Structure 1
């Protein structure tokens, strides 16, 4: 595998065609990350510089080098280790200002957040919008002073969308796009399914995780006002289950010239986003073995809804992460299906 290296201005600076290890972690709701280990040669030290871009012709994502470490490997050889995140991490460099009041489709809302704060105003170099896909899902939100990337992730999780900043080398630009993986679970009937199971012999080292410690399904969202005059709406996602309540302080959402209905819609959206963050942690991950039945990238990919079956458990969930590891001539592909436990568990309610 050749890793094509570009400068921050997307000008070719070299190729890395030999490395000891590459970890390429793709994510659906936020920027993925990578870690590359290779010999500390003069060429690699010059090429793998902070800010440079690692591009693979076989993947839509490209990574931006954010960390560089040079030292001795466990084998005693001099080694360079570079780490970073995928291109959409550029959006963490901007906050939302001035205030956005938006009602419409989620896709156009996400594009507006990027355009207003990183393209038409305070532009991020080489960033542009891709073609809108016309997804019909809607939302209403108000945001100011929020991080652009964090806002995109909240909207994505609440609606089931993914987003990416795709590297367009010929155009020398990063292309922001919103996308939605298709349903390939065993319970849908519109197309072929994808099933990871012992029956198909396409998983090794499976692990099922369930945790509802931080789970909430009913939100009280408090907007502007004081005391009994404070605007409070309720968002119910119990679906017949016992209620598990949370309080959401949305005082930053101001009614201004909005109608009552518009303001309540924005408060509802905030509640949906917070409930999405407080979802049950239920995930299934395993080292997937590519077979003639279900080939990675061709038959299943990041964002698809697929099925995992093991220990009498059938889980039909979206693939939210795929970790690819290339080491010692061995390739391991590990999909994570469902909602994994957050790397940092926050049980604190808004106040």
Structure 2
């Protein structure tokens, strides 16, 4: 597999076609990452420079080089290149001034990116992709927060994925919001995808469940004090025993908002905090490509599929796919479900 190398201005510099290993980790809710190991030749050192772009013709994502390491070994000097996918560039901007928004999550992400990384303080080559028309809604205030962090929080609360796709012919990056398809065994609209021993399409399976920080009911406190404080409750228990979470959202000010709009913003804050406190349940395994369920043809990152093993059935979204290339062999490992949560915060610091 050839890796096409481009400069930060999206001018092709050359091709890497010889390497000892290559890891390409795709993620739905946040930028993926990559790691490349190859000989530290003068040509490779020139091509694989900081901020250069690694592009693959067979993937929507492209990677931006962020780390370069050289190590002497018994087999010669080795180059280790690391970085993240294109959406990581959003990490370079903060939201300023305050955004006060109510509408769809897709429109919110477009506004955040446009207002802080395109129309002003533009990131080189970045533009908005076409709107798809996703209907999930949100209402929020955000100021002086990292653009990438806010997009991640909105995506997880929706849920929707996003990416910054490399458009080589037009020498630009396109910010896009996207979603997967429901291909679980419980739906009948489209052919299902099932990873199980029965289909002999998984290897090295691993199941993890952790409810230590799990919450499903948020009590959100807005402006005011005592009995005059505005309180909104967000119930995501779905019949389970209630596990309550207090969310202090005094940084959200009502201002000229109507009562309904202000309560909607408090509810959004509660949804985001509950997304951070989700139940950590995931299934990961090496996917053995079969005629029934082939990677990229029958299933892809973001799709909701079914896993069966040890009497456990999970109908969950594929949130990560790790591709590893070594000695001419590709191993694909999908991660299905919710990993241990990371802290995401749209509130005050």
Asked if Structure 1 and Structure 2 have the same fold, meaning a TM-score greater than 0.5 normalized by the shorter chain, the answer is yes
Runs of 5+ unmatched residues, structure 1? none
| Aligned counterparts of 1:274 and 1:150: Cα–Cα separation in 2 | 13
Provide the secondary structure at the position in 2 that maps to 1:146: coil
- Find the residue that maps to 1:70 and give its secondary structure: strand
Alignment correspondent of 1:7: 7
- CA offsets, 1:23-77, max 9 Å, x none? 100000000000000000110000000000000000000000000001124x542
Deviation at 1:143, TM superposition (A): 0.8
Give me the whole-angstrom Cα distance separating, in 1, the residues matched to 2:327 and 2:234: 51
- 1:295 match: 294
Q: Secondary structure at the match of 1:338?
A: strand
Match of 1:93 in 2: 92
Does 2:192 align with 1:212?
A: no
Q: Is the 8 A contact 2:276 2:343 kept in 1?
A: no
Answering whether residue 34 of structure 2 is matched by residue 34 of structure 1, we say yes
Q: After TM superposition, where is structure 1 displaced by more than 3 Å over at least 4 residues in a row?
A: none
Query: What pairs up with 1:143-162 in 2 under 5 angstroms?
Result: 143-162=142-161
Which runs of no fewer than 5 residues in structure 2 stay unpaired?
Answer: none
Which position in structure 1 is the counterpart of 2:120? 121
The two structures, once aligned, show a CA RMSD in angstroms of 1.4
Corresponding residue of 2:176: 177
1:104-253 map, 5 Å: 104-253=103-252
What is the TM-score when the length of structure 2 is the normalising length?
Answer: 0.97
How far apart, CA to CA, are the structure 1 residues paired with 2:75 and 2:221?
Answer: 58
Conservation of the 8 A alpha-carbon contact between 2:37 and 2:80: yes
SS in 2 for 1:50: coil
SS of the residue corresponding to residue 295 of structure 2 reads coil
Equivalent residues in 2 for 1:337-348, closer than 5 Å: 337-342=336-341
Secondary structure of residue in 2 paired with 1:204: strand
Q: Distance in 2 between matches of 1:250 and 1:6?
A: 44
In the alignment, the residues of structure 2 paired with residue 345 and residue 112 of structure 1 have an alpha-carbon distance, to the nearest angstrom, of: 23
- CA distance, structure 1, for counterparts of residue 223 and residue 8 of structure 2: 43
Alpha-carbon distance between aligned partners in 2 of 1:227 and 1:94, rounded to the nearest angstrom: 37
CA distance in 2, matches of 1:302, 1:332: 15
CA distance, structure 2, for counterparts of residue 236 and residue 207 of structure 1 = 31
Match of 1:304 in 2: 303
Shift of 1:251: 1.7
Aligned length: 346
Match of 2:59 in 1: 59
What is the deviation of 1:345?
A: 8.1
Contact 2:22 2:35 in 1 (8 A): yes
Structure-1 separation of matches of 2:260 and 2:96: 24
Aligned-partner Cα distance in 1 for 2:285–2:103: 38
Q: TM-score, normalised by structure 1?
A: 0.96
Query: Structure 2: how far apart are the matches of 1:39 and 1:318?
Result: 37
Corresponding residue SS for 2:184: coil
State the Cα distance separating 1:225 from its structure 2 match: 2.3
SS of aligned partner of 1:136? coil
| Secondary structure, counterpart of 1:269 in structure 2 | helix
Any conservation in 1 of the 2:206–2:285 contact (CA below 8 Å)? Answer: yes
Aligned partners of 2:107 and 2:138: how far apart in 1? 10
Superposed, 1:268-279 pairs within 5 Å as: 268-279=267-278
